[in-house]
């Protein structure tokens, strides 16, 4: 049995104390119990329990400590509320700026937006598509539809088609 214990100690790197520490543990436990009892009595004072055995001077001191604690709690609460208020004001200012920028952008691009809305409402017929194709001059094969025109853009190097939509990346949103 001793050999097994020694091998275990070597593998784990731990040692079993050679002297009996029961007496030390009992003393430490007694000290901890006494400290716990003292802290519990102190907590009873702060919660208002068992006030009959406290002398007047201690009650006065306890009252002052509680008033200081309440002042600190109120001060911290006020700080947190002020921080929240500052954050909300900052968010409000940011949202107002975004709203202003969006309004300005809409006013600048109002005609383009109205044109797009009108184009979405009206369905293009074949004659309208042919009018679009007639605006372009092609060398070689003439596309028969707007879809073919879109796929032919790879073959038209010097000319680039531009959409009627505004480039959203250029705006200051």
What mean pLDDT, rounded, does the chain reach?
Answer: 77
- What phi and psi, each to the nearest 5 degrees, are found at residue 32? -65, -40
Give residue-wise pLDDT tens across range 56-107: 888 888 889 889 999 999 999 999 999 999 999 999 999 999 999 999 988 8
CB neighbours (10 Å) of residue 109? 16
Is it the case that residue 143 has pLDDT exceeding 80? no
Which candidate, 126, 124, 127, 125, places its Cα nearest to that of 164?
Answer: 124
For the segment 122-137, the average pLDDT, to the nearest whole number, is 60
Residue 36 sits at the vertex; the CA angle it makes with 33 and 41, to the nearest 5 degrees, is: 130
Confidence of residue 55 (pLDDT cuts 50, 70, 90): confident
Q: What is the pLDDT of residues 107-125, one digit of tens each?
A: 888 888 788 777 777 655 5
At 150 the pLDDT is: 56
Closest CA to 133 of 112, 157, 150, 158: 150
pLDDT at residue 166, as a whole number: 52
DSSP letter, residue 125: -
Handedness of CA 44, 63, 59, 33 (dihedral sign): positive
Which pLDDT value is given to residue 84? Answer: 96
Looking at per-residue confidence, does 120 or 157 come out higher?
120
pLDDT for the residue 12: 82
Q: What is residue 64's predicted lDDT score, i.e. its pLDDT?
A: 92
């Amino acid at each position: 049995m001793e050999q097994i214990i020694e091998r275990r100690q070597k593998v784990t790197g731990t040692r079993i104390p050679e002297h009996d520490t029961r007496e030390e543990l009992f003393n430490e436990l007694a000290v901890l119990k006494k400290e716990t009892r003292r802290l519990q009595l102190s907590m009873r004072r702060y919660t208002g329990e068992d006030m009959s055995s406290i002398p007047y001077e201690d009650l006065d001191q306890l009252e002052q400590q509680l008033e200081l604690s309440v002042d600190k709690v109120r001060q911290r609460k006020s700080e947190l509320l002020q921080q929240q208020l500052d954050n909300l004001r900052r968010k409000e200012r940011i949202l107002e700026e975004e709203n202003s920028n969006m309004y300005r952008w809409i006013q600048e691009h109002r005609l383009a937006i109205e044109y797009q809305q009108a184009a979405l409402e009206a369905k293009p017929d074949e004659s309208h598509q042919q009018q679009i194709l007639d605006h372009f001059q092609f060398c070689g094969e003439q596309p028969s539809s707007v879809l073919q025109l879109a796929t032919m853009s790879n073959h038209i190097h010097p000319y680039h088609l531009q959409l009627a939509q505004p480039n959203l990346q250029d705006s200051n949103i």
